[in-house]
């Protein structure tokens, strides 16, 4: 089964996560949560980004990570 294609802004968000040790550790910690709690944490992050004035495309990209198949694709991208 092939992994879903990731939108450009989501790719940028995953790259930023990969370049930051703190964000990479935070993202890796999400792996141990259930899907519901992981989605909640990602929504919290998206809300914080929105409150800080980040572009809506970035906020939506973080929200996309709450989808299990998108989260797995991002995990694979960070591992390679």
Domain assignment present for residue 18? The answer is: yes
Domain assignment present for residue 1? The answer is: no
Per-residue pLDDT of the chain (80 residues), as tens digits, is 444 455 788 889 999 999 999 999 999 999 999 999 999 999 999 999 999 999 998 899 999 999 999 999 999 999 88
Domain assignment present for residue 3? The answer is: no
What is the structure's pLDDT at 8? 84
Domain assignment present for residue 21? The answer is: yes
Distance, in Å, from the CA atom of 7 to the CA atom of 30, rounded to the nearest integer, reads 21
What is the structure's pLDDT at 37? 96
Domain holding 66, by residue range, is: 8-79
The domain total for the chain is 1
What is the structure's pLDDT at 6? 56
Contact 79, 12 (CB under 8 A): no
pTM of the full predicted structure?
0.81
Domain assignment present for residue 2? The answer is: no
Distance, in Å, from the CA atom of 54 to the CA atom of 46, rounded to the nearest integer, reads 9
Distance, in Å, from the CA atom of 27 to the CA atom of 38, rounded to the nearest integer, reads 10
């Amino acid at each position: 089964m092939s992994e879903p294609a990731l939108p450009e802004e989501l790719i940028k968000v995953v790259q930023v996560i990969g370049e930051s040790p703190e964000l990479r550790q935070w993202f890796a910690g999400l792996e141990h949560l259930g899907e519901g709690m992981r989605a909640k944490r990602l929504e919290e992050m998206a809300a914080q980004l929105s409150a800080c004035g980040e572009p809506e495309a970035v906020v939506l990209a973080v929200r996309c990570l709450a989808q299990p198949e998108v989260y797995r694709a991002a995990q694979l991208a960070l591992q390679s």
